[in-house]
Chains A and B, each alone.
Chain A
Amino acid sequence: MSASSSPEPVVTINGTAYPYEPGDTVIRVAHRHGIDVPHYCYHPSMSPAGNCRICMVEVVGSPRPQIACKMACFPGLSVNTDSDLAHEARADTMQMLLVNHPLDCPICDQAGECHLQDYSYQLGSGRAVTSTPKTKLPKNQPFGEQIVYDAERCIKCTLCVRFCEEITDTNELSMGQRSDHEQVIMTSAGEFTTRYSMNIVDLCPVGALTSRDFRFRSRLWFMDFVPSVCTGCARGCNVTVGARMGKVLRLEPRENQDVNQWWMCDAGRLGYKHANSATRLGVPAVRDASGAWREATFEQAIQAASAALAEHRHEERPGHVLLDGGATLEEMWVARQLAAALGGEARFAAHVGDDGDEFLVVNEKGANARGAEALGLARVKNAADAGAAVLVIERDEHVPADLRAASGAVVAFVTDASHVPDSVRVAFPFGSFAERDGWLVNVGGRVQRLLGTGEAGPSAVQPFQAVAQEILLDLDAGHDVLDDAALETRLRAAPGLADLVWPPASREPAEVSS
Chain B
Amino acid sequence: MNPRAPAAEPKDVAPRAPAVVPASFPPAELKATCEKILARYPTKMAALLPILHEAQAFGGGWVSPELEAGVAAYLDLSPAHVHGVLTFYSMYNTKPAGRHELWVCRTLSCWRRGAPELRAKALDKAGCTRTGEVGEDGRFLVKDMECLGLCEQAPAIWLDGVAHANVTPEGLEQLMDGCE
Contacts and interface: CB of A to CB of B under 8 A. Distances in A.
Interface in B1-45: 1-2, 4-6, 10, 12-14, 16-20
Contacts of B12: 140, 142, 148
Interface in A146-190: 148, 164-165, 171-178, 185-190
Interface stretch (B47-55, B82-90, B100-108, B131-139): B82-90
A176 B81 CA distance: 8
A174 B81 contact: yes
B19 to A, nearest CB: 6
B65 interface: yes
Contacts of B80: 164, 171-174, 185-187, 190
A136 interface: no
B10 to A, nearest CB: 7
B167 interface: no
A188 B84 contact: no
Contacts of A172: 78, 80
Contacts of B17: 188-191
A246 B69 contact: no
A189 B88 contact: no
B2 A246 contact: yes
Contacts of A246: 1-2
A312 interface: no
A454 to B, nearest CB: 13
Contacts of B96: none
A429 to B, nearest CB: 14
Contacts of A244: 2
A188 B10 contact: no
A187 B69 contact: yes
A185 B19 contact: no
Q: Is the interface of B mostly helix, strand, loop or mixed?
A: loop
Contact of B78 (A171, A217, A247): A171
B20 A175 contact: no
Interface in B45-100: 65, 68-69, 78-84, 87-88, 94
A191 B2 contact: no
Interface residues of B, number: 27
A184 B157 CA distance: 32
Contacts of A148: 12
A317 interface: no
Given A190-B80, A191-B19, A176 B1 contact: no
Contacts of A313: none
B6 A216 contact: yes
Nearest to B16: A191
Contacts of B88: 175-178
A212 interface: yes
Contacts of A295: none
Contact of A174 (B6, B65, B78): B78
A218 B2 CA distance: 10
Contacts of B79: 171, 187, 190
Nearest to A278: B1
A185 B79 CA distance: 11
Contacts of A190: 17, 79-80, 83
A173 B1 CA distance: 39
Contacts of B68: 187-188
Contacts of B78: 165, 171-172, 174
A215 B14 CA distance: 16
Contacts of A177: 87-88
B94 to A, nearest CB: 7
B124 to A, nearest CB: 25
B6 A217 contact: yes
Nearest to B87: A176
Contacts of B81: 171, 174
A212 B14 CA distance: 12
Nearest to A142: B14
Nearest to A165: B78
A191 to B, nearest CB: 7
B90 to A, nearest CB: 9
A189 B5 contact: no
A217 B83 contact: no
Contacts of A188: 17, 20, 65, 68, 83, 94
B83 A185 contact: yes
A247 B65 contact: no
A429 B134 CA distance: 66
Contacts of B1: 245-247, 458
A247 B84 contact: no
Given A187-B80, A188-B65, A247-B1, A212 B18 contact: no
B13 A189 contact: no
Nearest to A280: B1
Contacts of B10: 212, 215-216
A145 interface: yes
A189 B84 contact: no
Query: 9 closest A-B pairs (Cβ-Cβ)?
Result: A171-B78, A174-B84, A246-B1, A174-B80, A176-B87, A187-B79, A189-B17, A245-B2, A189-B20
Interface of B: 1-2, 4-6, 10, 12-14, 16-20, 65, 68-69, 78-84, 87-88, 94
Given A142-B14, A191-B17, A245-B2, 4 more contacts: A171-B78, A177-B88, A190-B17, A191-B19
16 contacts: A148-B12, A164-B80, A173-B80, A174-B80, A175-B84, A185-B83, A189-B17, A190-B79, A217-B5, A245-B1, A245-B2, A245-B4, A245-B5, A246-B2, A247-B1, A247-B2
